[in-house]
């Protein structure tokens, strides 16, 4: 599998992340889950955040991110991640499986939200007190299910931004415990 190239959703999240980080201390510990090309980690670095850990399941992405001099962990979600973070960023695979698209970089399961729900179950054990998750998902991945499950897990959810792209709505939310 090739390294996931940034698309509209990646640039949208990067834009929101750039504004979002303006209120944070530059010394916070950040985790970029499913980093791919590293666009979100690059945004953090560009703004002066140096304590950034990037995670990806794909070996090519891991090698690519190492060349960019990031602190990289090869992991399926949090399986190889230790410690707690002040901010966890995730642009997950969120599309429902489709016979023409079953790639783990874009398809998040049969309904599109399965990877997101598993991430949320695990992320709460990797957040520092007062920590936040910045998550992007689509109207195609059943937002009501995601919000409902997030609330059951104890998260508070704030929609930071939404935008229409090619017949779907993209949402960026902040989750906190």
Backbone angles phi, psi at 171, to 5 degrees: -120, 140
- What integer pLDDT is reported at residue 102 of this predicted model? 45
Q: Which CATH number fits domain 8-176: 1.10.3720.10, 3.40.710.10, 3.40.50.150, 3.40.120.10?
A: 3.40.50.150
CA 165 to chain centre: 18
- What integer pLDDT is reported at residue 108 of this predicted model? 47
- What integer pLDDT is reported at residue 6 of this predicted model? 83
Identify the residue whose tokens are 């939404």.
Answer: 162
Backbone angles phi, psi at 172, to 5 degrees: -115, 120
Burial of 72 (0-12, 13-18, 19+ CB in 10 A): buried
CA distance 103 to 93: 9
Model-level pTM? 0.91
Q: Going by C-beta distance under 8 Å and a sequence separation of 6 or more, which residues neighbour residue 129? A: none
Residue 110 token pair: 């049969």
CA distance 71 to 99: 35
- What integer pLDDT is reported at residue 43 of this predicted model? 98
> pLDDT 10s digit of each residue in the chain, 177 long?
567 678 889 999 999 999 999 989 999 999 999 999 999 999 999 999 999 999 999 999 999 999 999 999 999 999 999 999 999 999 987 655 554 444 445 554 465 688 899 999 999 999 999 999 999 998 888 899 999 999 999 999 999 999 998 888 999 999 999
- What integer pLDDT is reported at residue 2 of this predicted model? 66
């Amino acid at each position: 599998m090739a390294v996931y190239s940034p698309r509209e959703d990646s640039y949208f999240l990067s834009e929101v992340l750039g504004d979002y980080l303006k209120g944070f201390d530059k010394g916070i510990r950040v985790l970029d889950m499913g980093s791919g090309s590293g666009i979100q980690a690059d945004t953090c670095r560009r703004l002066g955040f140096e304590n950034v850990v990037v995670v990806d399941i794909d070996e090519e992405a891991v090698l690519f991110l190492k060349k960019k001099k990031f602190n990289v962990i090869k992991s399926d979600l949090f399986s190889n991640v230790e410690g707690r973070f002040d901010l966890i960023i995730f642009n997950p695979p969120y599309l429902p499986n489709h016979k023409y698209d079953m790639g783990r970089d874009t398809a998040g399961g049969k309904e599109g939200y399965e990877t997101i729900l598993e991430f949320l179950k695990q992320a709460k054990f990797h957040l520092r007190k007062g920590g936040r998750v910045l998550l992007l998902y689509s109207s195609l991945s059943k937002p009501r299910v995601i919000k409902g499950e997030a609330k059951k897990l104890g998260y508070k959810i704030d929609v930071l931004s939404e935008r229409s792209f090619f017949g779907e709505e993209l949402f960026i939310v902040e989750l906190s415990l």
